[in-house]
Structure 1
Amino acid sequence: MSELVLVTGGTGYIGGWCIAELLHRGYHVRTTVRSADREKSVLDALSGEEDPAGRLDFAVADLTSDAGWDCALKGVDHVLHVASPLGVNSGKDPDTMIRAARDGTLRVLRAATSAGVKRIVMTSAANAASPSSYASEGITDETLWTDPEDPTLIPYRRSKTLAERAAWDFMAEQASGTELTTVLPGAVFGPILTKDNIGSVGIIARMLCGKMPGVPRIGLEVVDVRDLVDVHLRAMQSPAAAGQRFLATGEFMWMREMTQILRDDLGNEGRHVSTRQIPDTVVRLLARFRDPTLREITPALGRRNRHSTEKARTLLGWQPRSPRETVLDCAESLLAHGAVTV
């Protein structure tokens, strides 16, 4: 492959897997890091994967600054914008989180359109295509947009929604030939490349270590990180994907079901996993009086809203694996890398 693909956030969990798969498929890859001393962590994560063989280079660029982005995009054919400057952190000012997500995305898009990039595939979130929190049932698709004015939205969910909205609004005003596609994943789990950055799979690590004496009644649409990367690359390559949103969620699974799989299938290594479900009333009381960070999950208690992936399956031929396989592969990978001790 002679095409050059820029992956933003190469030290991240999803970004690392994007780099590995692109190299495996023969692409030339450039990835952004916040500082040059972080290049080694990317190379270390790839040590057991495809040999870069001169097909990987780095650019120093931070989503919170304009510096470095024009250089990072020079000569690039496609962009996988998977990096995000934020996470679920109740200690941050919500407006600061929104600005960071939106402005970081716009920095990438400005540089990409100026450089004449063919297509940008942006990672959004299924939470940007979900009904208001009072709707607990039903199946929705990409035509729905989360209402950013919903007062019950946590800052992270509002930020992802407004960042994706800003991306589509920006591209609608451009006269360039650059195309935009967005991918909206569910809860991302699966194998890790390195124990130094385990991303969203930290929840399974805590289950394995016995640090979760019980789980709340929360359901997740589990998507494997390998399948998420696959749908990104399909969206990058397919002519039909231009100007489209694609939900990339997996089967719905209660957290308690995840713990049961770990207990049943891991044998002795799953002995510390608790399958106890914490009643909703207890979670709400803890959130109110003892642990304010739990307030962000209380709107999700008992919700069964799901998302349709028919569009990705039909237009892109995407076929995600089962959540059971993803959860087990994730746990076995954490154990193999020494990320948890049981």
Structure 2
Amino acid sequence: MLRAGKATNLERLSFIEADLINDDGWTDAVKDCTYVLPVASPLPASAPKNENELIKPAREGTLRVLRAARDAKVKRVVVTSSSAAIEGHGRQDRNKVLTEEDWSDVNAPGLGAYAKSKTLAERAAWDFIKNEDGGLELSVINPGMIAGPVLALDTSSSIEANGERFLCLSQPQMSMKDISLALRERLGDKAKRCPTRSIPDFVVRIMGIFDSGIVLVVPMLGQTFVVSVDNVLGWTPRSSVDAVVAAGESLYKLGLVKK
């Protein structure tokens, strides 16, 4: 994975085992760090039977990192939240332009467990900082789907950033059909298995009753998201098409796609 990511100087790289739902290891993990970047929380391929399977590690894990960082006198924590904490599936006004000021409503009908977990975890992080007087700084990024080269077979900056949220999205949005068409166009026969037919929403809803994977996308049916990104950091994402194609190429090279 490190070689695939073109990492060359590993002299300062070390690993500490820690668990989002356990206190062990976090003190050692953040020792002597200036910046701490918690970058992930559980995202299953299918809907959990109990939403707390996602909410508990996301919220409690975020707070564990923040407490350990505070005690270690870390300068800043940069939390990777999600656009799911902003875009709020089930919102009434679908034409509303979304910004970093918006939050998903955890009580909204149809809001999935993942979106709820990311929203509650980020809220907990901001509340923690608000009630802290230790000088710990917090920044949050809210990416959408993250695409790019797969690094392994196991697929699962500025002072102004302090106290801010940053929507990290590339426009325009791509539907699953758009993704398939882009892969077919750019990868040719390598992407010949990518489906391009559309299934009516009502069929997907019915299938979601019986499939815990499909039910995850049901809240997003018919949703469009118009966003306004405040580019304080001067950051420009790669194009959605380039990122998706890079992901597809890497899956093919690693033998994760059937020929």
TM over 0.5: yes
Correspondence 1:302 to 2:202: no
TM-superposed deviation, 1:337: 2.0
Correspondence 1:95 to 2:13: no
- Kept in 2: contact 1:119–1:178 (CA 8 A): yes
- Kept in 2: contact 1:73–1:115 (CA 8 A): yes
Counterparts of residues 59-78 of structure 1 (less than 5 Å): 59-78=16-35
CA distance in 2, matches of 1:186, 1:292: 21
Correspondence 1:279 to 2:200: yes
Cα deviation digits, residues 50-85 of structure 1 (max 9, x gap): 223312011111111001111111101101110314
When you count strand as a share of all residues, which structure comes out higher? 1
- Kept in 2: contact 1:124–1:185 (CA 8 A): yes
1:217 matched to which residue of 2?
none
1:124 matched to which residue of 2?
81
Counterparts of residues 140-289 of structure 1 (less than 5 Å): 140-197=98-155, 199=156, 237-251=157-171, 252-288=173-209
For the residue of structure 2 that corresponds to 1:283, the secondary structure is helix
- Kept in 2: contact 1:183–1:245 (CA 8 A): yes
Runs of 4 or more, structure 1, over 4 Å off, are: none
Structure 1: gaps (5+ residues) = 1-44, 200-236
Report the number of matched residues.
Answer: 256
CA distance in 2, matches of 1:151, 1:144: 17
TM-superposed deviation, 1:139: 2.2
Structure-2 change in CA distance of 1:137 and 1:241 (3 Å): same
1:42 matched to which residue of 2?
none
TM-superposed deviation, 1:175: 1.0
TM-superposed deviation, 1:196: 1.8
2:97 matched to which residue of 1?
139
TM-superposed deviation, 1:299: 1.8
User: Among residues 221, 229, 247, which one is paired with 1:330 in the alignment?
Assistant: 247
Instruction: Say which structure, 1 or 2, has more relative contact order (CA 8 Å, 6+ apart).
Output: 2
For the residue of structure 1 that corresponds to 2:79, the secondary structure is strand
CA distance in 2, matches of 1:136, 1:292: 26
When you count helix as a share of all residues, which structure comes out higher? 1
- Kept in 1: contact 2:87–2:103 (CA 8 A): yes
| Larger CA deviation: 133-142 vs 295-304 | 133-142
- Kept in 2: contact 1:78–1:120 (CA 8 A): yes
- Kept in 2: contact 1:105–1:167 (CA 8 A): yes
- Kept in 2: contact 1:88–1:155 (CA 8 A): no
For the residue of structure 2 that corresponds to 1:180, the secondary structure is strand
Structure-2 change in CA distance of 1:299 and 1:62 (3 Å): same
Q: Provide TM-score, normalisation by structure 2.
A: 0.93
CA distance in 1, matches of 2:233, 2:204: 40
Counterparts of residues 43-62 of structure 1 (less than 5 Å): 45-48=1-4, 49-62=6-19
- Kept in 2: contact 1:137–1:306 (CA 8 A): yes
2:234 matched to which residue of 1?
317
Structure 2: gaps (5+ residues) = none
